[in-house]
């Protein structure tokens, strides 16, 4: 079985649908409301678990209804919650979102308890990291906490997948050599390298700049164009199947969670990327984030073999 540890954020998305976005000081009536589980770490963990991986989550929640629901959501997907911690010092992370009839949105992210996940918490979770074949990290929790997790994985000889999202410039140089697989999207790559990624050739050059910083292998996700796999001496564009997109929210997390599953299961990187592309393409054909992620039983025959 694929054994994966995810260290990252868990949020609750609070989505209100309105005819138009409100002006300053204005109160509007909405047409409907939706609440969904989110946070990049949580999304990636759930995707891997849906495929059948044995997943451990390391996160921090507030002692509130959102935290309780998030914890139960993890449990319902069979995720090991030994290191999903609660705090009285902050609310769970939330993202109130307003969406108008044209699909435009305004979002306020309050990271809350995610900000209190500490390097000490990560050290306490060392056994969960050491027991995994893959560690997955992102940038929605404190940077020092993410680096602590990646360091432990390196000490314990665990393969690391680092997703530098949300994108930010000026990442510490130490992050790159700690990343066996460095997996940004187009905008994140441009932010980190300062280089364009408009064409496959430009994207390849930007990926090589990340290799020069010390990343082991770069997998650059290109949306509907698929993914670009670049290592020293090798570059391969792996296209995605053309599909009709209903909602692309969470597609990147579906890709990362699937990639971790296939790599942990021993697939070679080109094949792992091809299969993760396919699952991400399935996710954009349904609405929502975790609700759009396919279950193993819904996948085409052979995809999980």
Q: Active-site residue numbers? A: 253
Spatial separation of the C-alpha atoms in residues 258 and 48, rounded to whole Å: 6
Question: For tokens 């094949």, what's the residue?
Answer: 271
Question: For tokens 């949300």, what's the residue?
Answer: 166
Spatial separation of the C-alpha atoms in residues 249 and 39, rounded to whole Å: 12
Residue 194, sorted as left (phi over 0), alpha (psi -120 to 50) or beta, turns out to be: left
Residue 215, sorted as left (phi over 0), alpha (psi -120 to 50) or beta, turns out to be: beta
Alpha helices per DSSP H over the chain: 40-50, 65-76, 119-124, 126-130, 143-155, 186-193, 200-212, 251-264, 269-283
Q: Are 41 and 111 in contact (CB under 8 A)?
A: no
Spatial separation of the C-alpha atoms in residues 303 and 300, rounded to whole Å: 6
Distance of CA 35 to the CA centre of its chain: 19
Phi, psi of 129 (to 5 degrees): -65, -45
Q: Are 80 and 7 in contact (CB under 8 A)?
A: no
Q: Residue 143: CB partners within 8 Å, gap ≥ 6? A: 172
């Amino acid at each position: 079985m694929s054994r994966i540890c995810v260290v990252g954020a868990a949020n609750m998305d609070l989505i209100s649908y309105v005819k138009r976005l409100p002006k300053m000081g204005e109160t509007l009536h909405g047409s409907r409301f939706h609440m969904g589980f989110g946070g990049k770490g949580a999304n990636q963990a759930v995707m891997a678990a849906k495929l059948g991986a044995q997943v451990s989550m390391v996160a921090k929640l507030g002692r509130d209804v959102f935290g309780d629901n998030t914890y139960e959501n993890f449990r319902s997907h069979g995720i090991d919650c030994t290191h999903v911690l609660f705090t009285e010092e902050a609310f769970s992370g939330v993202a109130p979102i307003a969406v108008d009839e044209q699909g435009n949105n305004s979002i306020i992210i309050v990271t809350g308890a995610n900000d209190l996940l500490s390097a000490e918490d990560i050290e306490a979770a060392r056994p969960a990291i050491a027991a995994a074949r893959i560690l997955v990290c992102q940038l929605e929790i404190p940077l020092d906490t993410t680096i602590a997790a990646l360091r432990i994985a390196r000490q314990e000889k665990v393969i690391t997948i680092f997703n530098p999202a949300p994108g930010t410039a000026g990442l510490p140089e130490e992050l790159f050599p700690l990343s066996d697989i460095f997996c940004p999207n187009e905008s994140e790559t441009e932010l980190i390298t300062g280089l364009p990624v408009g064409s496959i050739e430009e994207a390849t050059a930007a990926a090589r700049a990340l290799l020069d910083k010390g990343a082991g292998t770069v997998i650059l996700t290109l949306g509907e164009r698929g993914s670009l796999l670049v290592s020293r001496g090798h570059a391969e564009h792996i296209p995605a199947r053309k599909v009709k997109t209903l909602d692309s929210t969470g597609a990147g997390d579906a890709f990362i969670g699937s990639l971790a599953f296939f790599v942990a299961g021993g697939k070679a990187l080109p094949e792992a990327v091809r299969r993760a592309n396919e699952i991400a393409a399935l996710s954009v054909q349904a609405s929502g984030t975790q609700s759009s992620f396919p279950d193993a039983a819904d996948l085409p025959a052979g995809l999980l073999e």
